[in-house]
Amino acid sequence: MKKHFKKLAAASLAFTAALALTFPSYAAGWVQSPQGWWWSDEVNGSPVSCWRWLDGNGDGWAECYYFDHYGYMAENTTTPDGYQVDASGAWVVDGVVQTVYQDPSAQDQEEEPEEVWVDTTEENPSYRFFETDHYSQGTNKTLNLSDGSTKFWSSYLCLTGYDGFIKMDVKTRNKFRPETLVANVYSTNGTLTIYGDDDEELESFEFDYEDSIREIAVDVSDQSSITIKTSSGPHYMYFQYLKLEGQERYQ
C-alpha cells in the first residue's frame, strides 16, 4: 500500500491538496442503514456533499470517501466531480486505493475538544426528505372540527390514502443532533405510524372525528432514518408542521 501511494503521489497531489485532511480524535465510525453506509460523527456532524479522509479500521492509514447530499457514501461509481470510488467507497486511481498515513499514537494523545450542546429545534426539516408518495404541500387550509369550530392553517403538509408516506433522515447534520419528531396533525379518520431503521415501528396514532387534531412527539434519537406513514383510506392527513427537536453543538 505504501509503495503504491508513493508512486502515485505526484499524480494525485493537486487533488489531495483540494481535500480537507480531517482525522477525528473522538468516537466516530461507520453506520449501515437501509439506504447505505454513512459516517457517524456527533462532534462535527456527519459529512454531506463532500469528501472525507477516514481511518475507519484504525490501521493508521486513511482512505478518502465521497458522501452525497443525503450523507450516504458513494460506492463503485464516478463521483459528481469526476473521480472513481471502488466497491468499498474508497477513492481509487487506476484501480489503486489512495491512502494517507495517520499516526494512531499521535491521535490517541490528542485531547477531545470541549463540547457544549444546546437544546434547539429544526423548524423546517423538509431538506431531509429523501422519498415521498401521496405527499403535497399547500396554503390557507380551514379545518372543520367536531365541536362546530374551525381552525385556519396558513400552510400545511398533506398525506393521502393508504400509501402516503415521508421518508427522512434524522442523522446529525450541521452540528444538529435530532432527538424528537414533533408534529401537529389533523385527520378525521385513519392511523399515523412512525417507523425507524429496519422498519421498526416506533409509535402509532389513531385519529377519528372526535379527536381530529393531535400534537405528537416521537423519540428518534437512536435512528438514522424514519418513515412517516398514513393509512387513512380516502381521507387526508394534514400536518400544520413537522419539526425536529434536539441539540446543537457549540464549541
Region 116-131: mean pLDDT is: 89
- Whether pLDDT at 18 is above 50: no
Residue of 202, 203, 131, 216 lying closest to 166 (CA atoms): 131
Percent of the chain at pLDDT > 70 equals: 82
Q: Give the pLDDT band (50/70/90) at residue 93.
A: confident
Q: Give the pLDDT band (50/70/90) at residue 4.
A: very low
Q: Which residues contact 34 (CB under 8 A, 6 or more apart)?
A: 197, 198, 225
Place of cell 490528542: 110
pTM of model > 0.85: no
Region 206-211: mean pLDDT is: 82
Q: What is the pLDDT of residue 210?
A: 77
Between residues 182 and 60, the one the model is more confident about? 182
CA 32 – CA 40 distance, rounded (Å): 10
- Whether pLDDT at 172 is above 90: no
Q: What is the pLDDT of residue 9?
A: 41
- Grid cell listed for 172: 446529525
Residue of 233, 109, 239, 224 lying closest to 178 (CA atoms): 224
**188 touches 178 (CB < 8 A):** no
Q: Is 237 exposed, middle or buried (0-12, 13-18, 19+ CB in 10 A)?
A: buried
- Grid cell listed for 165: 408516506
